[in-house]
Amino acid sequence: MMCSEETFHALESFEARESDFLIATYPKCGTNWVIQILHEMVFYINNKEPSIVQAMLEFGRPEKIQTQNEAPSPRVFSTHLYYDNIPKSFFEKKVKTLLILRNPKDTAVSFFHFSNNNPVLPSYGSWDLFFKDYIEGKVCSGSYFDHTASWSKHIDDEHIMPLTFEDMKLDYFNNLKKISKFLGLSLSEEQLKIVESKTVFKSMKEKSGDTHGKLGNVFFRKGEIGDWKSIFSESQSKEMDAKFEECLAGERIGEILNYSRYCKN
């Protein structure tokens, strides 16, 4: 996990507010996409930029916690933390939380390319080496399956709304409406259409150099559904199927992921 022990402990003093928004994801499940969506939505409602918009709770030095505590509202945070590691104040204040999920096979492929093109992450000489670490939960941020399971028992909490990367890709505008309503932002249809035009993948990839600098193309590679079919071997696909059955198939979050539709040939 890309979080120092000092920062991890400093998070205990984090002061969440009811007006905050939190985006919770496992890496490469649509984090930056949804960050940009909330940025645009909050801007329209408040007619000003959020004071914090790309702050991963767990990244950075521990001193940042005090700075974030003092930042004015509205604040938008994101995290790759397991549910039990989220600062307690987020749940005490019932902070509106978007839990973004993505099928584990496409997540793995995206994570592989991200690791090999991000200078702060370990590089892998081959897909096979990465797959072994991924399936065993030895990659940055730990196990996809453990992370997803940690949130599973809480997806019916009133302040948490699960969304899937796949549903958003296939029915984007209606999911934008769901997000707006859940967050209590109540954007008009016209405003939502503008948000849609600014946050479709093609638009975000084109301006990624402005939003993410030299790493723009690293954060926004393809954003496709089914990319796993180009790299998974048959045995790897079956191994992932078995892992899903073991860890998530009996959970409601497993139903939400619609594994059979997106991860079976």
pLDDT tens, position by position, 156-165: 999 999 999 9
Residue 237 has pLDDT above 60, yes or no: yes
Q: Would you tell me the crossing angle of helices 104-117 and 234-247 to the nearest 10 degrees?
A: 110
What are the tens digits of pLDDT across the range 190-228?
999 999 998 886 656 556 445 444 554 545 556 689 999
Between 11 and 46, residue with greater pLDDT: 11
How many CA atoms are closer than 13 Å to the CA of 215, on its beta-carbon side?
Answer: 12
Backbone angles phi, psi at 182, to 5 degrees: -60, -40
Tally of domains in the chain: 1
Q: CATH number for the domain including 14?
A: 3.40.50.300
Give me the numbers of helices (H) and strands (E) for the chain, helices first please: 16, 5
Query: Using CA atoms, how far apart are residues 79 and 214, in angstroms rounded to an integer?
Result: 22
This prediction has a pTM of: 0.89
Mean pLDDT of the chain: 87
Are the C-beta atoms of residues 97 and 159 closer than 8 Å to each other?
Answer: yes
pLDDT of residue 134: 97
Percent of residues in the chain assigned helix, strand, coil, to nearest 5: 55, 10, 35
pLDDT of residue 100: 98
Residue 189 has pLDDT above 90, yes or no: yes
Provide the annotated active-site residues. 80
Residue 87 has pLDDT above 70, yes or no: yes
Task: Look at residues 23, 7, 24 and name the one whose alpha carbon lies nearest to residue 66.
Answer: 7
Encoding tokens for residue 142? Answer: 């730990």
Burial class (CB in 10 A: 0-12, 13-18, 19+), 18: exposed
Task: Look at residues 69, 31, 50 and name the one whose alpha carbon lies nearest to residue 185.
Answer: 50
Residue 137: strand, helix, or coil: coil
Residue 63 has pLDDT above 90, yes or no: no
Domain that holds residue 155: 5-262
